[in-house]
Amino acid sequence: EADIYQTPRYLVIGTGKKITLECSQTMGHDKMYWYQQDPGMELHLIHYSYGVNSTEKGDLSSESTVSRIRTEHFPLTLESARPSHTSQYLCASSESGQGDGELFFGEGSRLTVL
């Protein structure tokens, strides 16, 4: 069982609100990721981090921002939520090194912006 946790699991908010999705892992993994999962199931990488103070944008352009101040914590923030941000957000982590790179996913945060 993977030790990666996301909160909140579900969030319904109004347009213009600031939100932060929390992600924490207890496996000591250096690499962490945020994926956006559309209602039709596809996953798109929006942010990733190779370690503390290292963050980069992913393939899918996103208005969200991330920070990595501690190894175990990788929060995602939307300064002003819009209906177009409605989606499921999945956090993941993986070990460093030359291993097979298995991604360990959290259970997701489903965001609905009204």
Tokens 């175990």 sit on residue: 72
> Which part of the chain contacts other proteins (CB under 8 A), choosing from 13-21, 27-35, 65-73, 76-84?
27-35
> Which part of the chain contacts other proteins (CB under 8 A), choosing from 12-20, 60-68, 73-81, 91-99?
91-99
Contacting residues for 94 by C-beta, under 8 A, at least 6 apart: 29, 31, 32, 33, 101, 102, 103, 104
Nearer to other proteins, 63 or 102 (CB): 102
Least gap, CB of 7 to other proteins (angstroms):
14
Which residues inside 48-77 make contact with other proteins, applying CB under 8 A? Answer: 48, 58-59
Contacting residues for 49 by C-beta, under 8 A, at least 6 apart: 31, 32, 33, 55, 56, 66, 68, 74
Q: Does 33 bind other proteins (CB under 8 A)?
A: yes
The type of residue at 28 is G
Hey, is 112 helix, strand or coil?
A: strand
- Interface with other proteins (CB under 8 A): 2, 4, 31, 33, 35, 40-45, 48, 58-59, 90, 92, 94, 98, 100-103, 105-108
